[in-house]
Structure 1
């Protein structure tokens, strides 16, 4: 693939990491970088994230959304797109990136807090039925939208689950918006966890391949990752991605987890699920092969539109 993007940002340790002998999902290996568990498969196909989701329904202590070109992390995009604008971006991305295989929606707010994501997927599927459709959500509204998600052709689903103990979850997500009410503390945590597990179960029953993202937060949930993995595995998840905290927002005072803590958390998770280890913490408007190529600037040019979001983790 020809690209004017910068050289790979993968560190030598990542590049030299031995590949797993057996892919977790043979049908997705090399076709979906976020569900490919070998190094070779992860670096074979590109994905496009469409930033069509403006708002959110939960407030996480580590979550800081923004519109800029600098930050390489979730929750950041160059601009918001309407569903119709998103199809134009897909067409342009296919011209730029010959290995594009996946269209995903992961923000900058939660894709199920509005209808924009599902409307966009319906338009994309109509024009490009060969593309894999992928959704990433906090899971609060997942049970209510399972049939619609399946109907628009979403094949892979990522749910961010940071705790299955309400006392821990309440520290991470102290408030949510649920049925036109604000829930706080333990009440909010219990509702979020229940919906996440119910949603994962329903998605698995409908044939979706489910991955869980878990943010590793020192002093908060670092001792709890095995419990998260056990419960989401029982619900039907098949892969877990343990993501190191980026210290910011209300968790700006916490340290990023070190190598030993990350290794211990992944080892605990591996007792229950296959662990994804190639995460690049992608932006909500990312395009290309994670850690290898980036077409975002070419897609969006100089149009920078900043709009506020109430964001999720």
Structure 2
């Protein structure tokens, strides 16, 4: 384990729940665009995959980031992580790199984190590395394109739309390539997976195996809440979530918290 990884695991509550009693993280809502359409996500609200305590629905302009960070750090000395998770897709928004660059230049000692759908991760890895990003969260909901096509209605890459199985296959290939490249750069990777009853519930073993092989360090199962095109599906119960985590633990480390973790 590298010295950077030791620091991360001693301070980042999303990668090590034991330190959550001492340390916390700050979310910068600077990313507004999105490049995929999830059937469980309504753009009228914050993405179901990115709901967090204290989330802000109003975007923060990068020029206001340092003032906001300073004010919050002066009030909470427990913050060890600053990340970007939304409210859109961070790597589809130029504001993400701009904001993180400002933060890294002023606070180089604080862990920088990005939560992404993974479509642009491999393409953005040089920029992320240059602004000090050490941890990445990638949302991977399926590794079977047929199942993926039930979750994503469209994927937009290089100004071209991809739908159905083609879109899901493109997204998956980019996600796994991005995870592998992030690990090559020494970044720790966490995978978020939304457990959607009746859609990917019985597919989680394959997801866990694939992301572990790609280099993911830990996996966070996210409870599903019915909305958008999946309004009629049942919500994920605590029992189902806990059972799935227990089943996947031998494959890849599982987070302990039962809430959406952005970074």
1:127 is matched with 106
Q: Distance in 1 between matches of 2:27 and 2:43?
A: 15
User: 1: CA distance between counterparts of 2:90 and 2:258?
Assistant: 20
1:33 alignment counterpart? 13
Q: CA deviation at 1:283?
A: 7.7
Of the candidates 209, 214, 237, which is equivalent to residue 235 of structure 1? 214
Q: 2:7 & 2:230 partners in 1: Cα distance?
A: 38
Deviation at 1:164, TM superposition (A): 0.3
| Highest RCO, 1 vs 2 (Cα 8 Å, sep ≥ 6) | 1
Counterparts of 1:153-302 in structure 2, within 5 Å, are: 153-281=132-260
Tell me whether 1:92 sits opposite 2:63 in the alignment.
no
Q: Is the 8 A contact 2:223 2:258 kept in 1?
A: no
Helix, strand or coil: the match of 1:81? coil
Q: What SS is found at the alignment partner of 1:241?
A: strand
Give yes or no for the alignment of 1:62 onto 2:40: yes
TM-score scaled by length of structure 2: 0.91
Q: Structure 2, unaligned stretches of length 5 or more? A: none
Contact 2:8–2:111 at 8 Å: present in 1 too?
no
Moved more, 202-211 or 275-284: 275-284
Would you say the 8 A contact 1:34–1:279 is kept in 2? no
Q: How far apart are residue 27 of structure 1 and its match?
A: 3.0
Tell me, yes or no, if structure 1 residue 45 matches structure 2 residue 20. no
Q: TM-score, normalised by structure 1?
A: 0.77
- What is the deviation of 1:165? 0.3
Q: What's the CA shift for 1:260?
A: 3.3
Is the 1:230–1:269 Cα contact (8 Å) retained in structure 2?
Answer: no
Aligned to 1:114: 93
- Give 1:282 shift: 5.5
The structure-2 alpha-carbon separation of the partners of 1:242 and 1:196, relative to structure 1 and needing over 3 Å to count, comes to same
CA contact under 8 A between 2:31 and 2:88: conserved in structure 1?
yes
- Across the aligned residues of Structure 1 and Structure 2, the Cα RMSD in angstroms comes to 2.0
4+ runs deviating over 4 angstroms? none
Contact persistence 2:30–2:60 (CA under 8 A): yes
Aligned counterparts of 1:168 and 1:250: Cα–Cα separation in 2: 15
Partner of 1:141: 120
Counterparts of 1:37 and 1:274, CA distance in 2: 12
Distance 2:179 2:89 in 1: 16
**Alpha-carbon deviation of 1:180?**
1.0
**Of 148-157 and 199-208, the range deviating more from structure 2:** 148-157
* Structure 1 residues 26 and 130, CA gap change in structure 2 (3 angstroms): closer
